[in-house]
Structure 1
């Protein structure tokens, strides 16, 4: 607890001293430029920029002067101009002034106004948005709102990464680290401090690197790693003096002294305490860094037994109370009086500290009791709500479970019905196919029987009759006529027999058999039959069973045309297209092919044969005659 008290004041000032104090020459130069610009009527934008710069220069030197020039810049706008960058920059400077005056709520709201309008600028300024978000985070940190501060620091970090300005990224990581340190989350603060130092080195920002190292040293000290803390803080003090920056050297000196005190190194404390007393006159007397050192100095003199020196510092530097809590200040005063033997004053100071602590404790107890009572009431309500929500959730889960169950059952039933209907459809098709095959097989068997009977019976009998007539008929002319008639009957019966016999594909292919068949039918019927097979086609690749059925289909089709259509011309094309066999047939007759379907086996036979090989046909009639298209797959 003691070391927390010693280091608490260190980081209250580090977050706001990140810029170098402007010299009088810079301010004088800006004032001269302003006087010149005020004489030029067309220099509004330049004036706004100069007022903003001069206000920023006065921020750490003279708050009233800073506010004066900010207001002069804002007065150039007859109405709020949130769409202009210059106006937003002036508002940002005004928010900084309010922050330095301790008006944290007003500062926070002004920063938020800038943050809300900055993304709407014509040329978006991520660097401005990053600075403003970081300032909002500092306000929240000062107000004790840790979560909100972290949120805005992270937003600032995102904007800084977009600008790729390493110095801004380093500054943001440093501020986040200070926030973690104040909340005693030292490991996280150390991680942020190291990141800040890394980015500061990339940006070649020596000042920011030194501030980051101060944070790292403070974290090591609070984690009990005194050797690491003293090493990095000593190096920091030396480097700050090398670049002639005493303010930063003093900022690192205070935590270094506290580290040696906690490490019980009195000799080292005396050495660096003397160094601090030499440097203190080089920085503003009432600056937060100076007051921080005075508080550390008073505590150290008390620790090494030089009570009068400690007491003189506490009584002569009244503003030191802004860096030390009221009770801690009076406890340190009491210990000095006790060391000097003035027990009455020591008692009085200790009594002041106890009264203050008791009042705070009493207030805390009352607040805690009120909070506890409110939490109990809220807990009861929350319990009832939780029970209600749990019951509703259980009912909802039950309904959902039933819904899923019923949907599953319905789905399974639908699947079962679909499978059953599909099976029936397949069975029906298989039955039709079997019936068609049986019908075709019956026709073929009947054809074979008729062909055999005609060939073996009628043809032989006619041959016998011809031989007998040749032997017994006396009239040569009568004999010749009779023999000629019988020969014609015999040839006709022979042709029917050959037509009925199944085609043999062993020594020929479909193309040759169809060509032979069409030639014979043209000779017998006298009808012109033109057959045009597609050239360059290997017809031997057509499966035998498909060729057989196509041959029979063409027999049936040509037979029907010759019997019913009174055609004079028949044109047939045979093509093989990839995996299909295609036949186009055209004739000039006037027969309607559908007229015979109810009386014979013509179209039915064709349809059944195509079914067995997975084919189909289409019949069309136009002014030139009838077209028949037959398609079948080869596999």
Structure 2
């Protein structure tokens, strides 16, 4: 999009929103470019400074201002600049380790804000490695909290909570302590334990009355507002978001300003002001695009997509969904997973080695104490030896009995397992036999029908043709016989075809099936056909195959995906029928995991229909399946 086009879009959105928001008396800022938050004097000092330590301090100060403002690209730029400047004089720069640790923190923060979680993890692991607690305690725990935040965003909640609680128990720094408590509350928030999260958030706000940290306060208030949305306390949530919006803009915390505007759009939508919500979210989206905040772009698009679905504008909802997938793929492409995995293993190995060293030190101390007391206890132990020997013998007997019992239990479990397996095999064989018997009976019935009715009629017609004298009477009889034969063939054909798919449109059948699945499970499933009347014009054979494909996809999702949200979009455009199936489950690595029987069945059905199947899935990020089938 060109600069002039962006300016026109900003002017249009601003005029539209001012016209719509007068009665709410809200205001919003559209930023055509990234706001300037750093004083010109810092740039002048950096340009004129010749001392490396002064340069490092100024770069660190500028980067800290950008971190507070949330200007992601600038954070990453100055993190790279700091690392580059100090690395050039690594051997002669005394504060190299300290400022390299700061550079890793800046880069980790920037990559985290941009949604590049794997790159962020690499920088935080590097920071932990060069920031020992004994020398750089604060920087060590800052990197630990950053690593925990990456785990939190990747939904590895247990790993994140362990790191946060470890920091709380060991740090004495008030900033670190309050931030760690806030992150613990975030963990419970993302786990949907809103009651516990709210309790800890209020505790954090209480602590901030004594020690002010404005950005942590605003982040905490944003989360409390979101909890109010879940509790349907919309007016109170709006108070939180308005307060955060005003203070964030005044303090130049532009990332929090955008987040507050997004949440206000969600509140307006829930209050029934769909048009106002769309304009508010559009203003936020313009700023996220300008600042290249990929995660926030994805969040705004997701909410806008829900607005379009609510308005039954499925075509634009599908376009927004396509854009959502594009941004997700862009995030994944930018991540360097191989390097990060190696660093994570190194970090875990380092932590284990530390634990082993601590255990060895403890063991040496114990051995020294044992050696000191050995002479004193030796005579005492000899006196009790006569008593201990019978006790040991009894213990050995008990141990043998216990071992025998465990072996018997294990043997019994194996026998039970074999019985269960045999029963399952018998059940499968019974089902197969029942299916084959049913098919054989149906074949015999059709053979009888064809032989007794149609075969008899055709034989009669043949005899009449052979012995016909009266042509007029003969012709009427033949016509009558042929008519009866036609009706018998039609009746047999109708018996073979499924009445359900003949009498109903495919959209109503899928809706009924989806509703039955949703009512019997914890999943939220949406089905969006567009345009519905054209989809219902699909012929019966394709109806049945399409229905069975969706059945197979839902079955796979319920069995394996652990998803709580499934979205199904069915679109017919010209000669293409497109099915988009998305879930927010655990996903899988398509390069390593083979396709199961479910996907093999779907591909076999699509092969007969000349259709195509595309699977896009990543671990912990859900699965998207795109199917295209040509239709006449």
Answer yes or no: same fold by TM over 0.5. Answer: no
TM-score interval, normalised by the smaller of the two chains: 0.3 to 0.5
Q: Which has the larger radius of gyration?
A: 1
Provide the TM-score with structure 2 as the length reference. 0.42
- How high is the TM-score relative to the length of structure 1? 0.42
